[in-house]
């Protein structure tokens, strides 16, 4: 997911209505870390910019999995 240059669009947005991999919290944490790394890489390379959003009720779960790595644009 770090190399999205092959996608010919300036922005990519992924929205999760529910938490992926709910049956495997360890895998959830790995997935969220991969998403976070991909977002940072997209900002460094600027092409395309990746954004990810989740339903607000998932915030506590995401914070528990990622801790200080939660990136809040607001």
Where in the sequence is the domain holding 32, given as residue range(s)? 11-69
Is residue 39 included in any domain, yes or no?
A: yes
Is residue 15 included in any domain, yes or no?
A: yes
Is residue 43 included in any domain, yes or no?
A: yes
Give yes or no for a contact between 28 and 21, defined as CB atoms under 8 angstroms apart. yes
Tens digits of residue pLDDT in 5-51: 778 888 889 999 998 888 887 899 899 988 888 888 888 877 788 89
Give the number of domains in the chain.
1
End-to-end Cα separation, the chain, in angstroms: 24
Is residue 74 included in any domain, yes or no?
A: no
Is residue 28 included in any domain, yes or no?
A: yes
Q: What angle do CA 40, 43, 45 make, to 5 degrees?
A: 110
14's CB contacts (< 8 A; 6+ apart) are 35, 50, 51, 52, 53
pTM (2 d.p.): 0.75
Is residue 34 included in any domain, yes or no?
A: yes
Is residue 3 included in any domain, yes or no?
A: no
Is residue 44 included in any domain, yes or no?
A: yes
């Amino acid at each position: 997911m770090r190399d999205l240059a092959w996608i010919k669009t300036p922005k990519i947005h992924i929205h999760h209505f529910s938490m992926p991999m709910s049956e495997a919290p360890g895998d959830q944490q790995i997935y969220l870390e991969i998403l976070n790394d991909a977002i940072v890489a997209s900002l460094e390379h600027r092409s395309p910019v990746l954004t990810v959003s989740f339903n607000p009720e998932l915030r506590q779960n995401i914070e528990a999995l990622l801790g200080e790595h939660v990136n809040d644009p607001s």
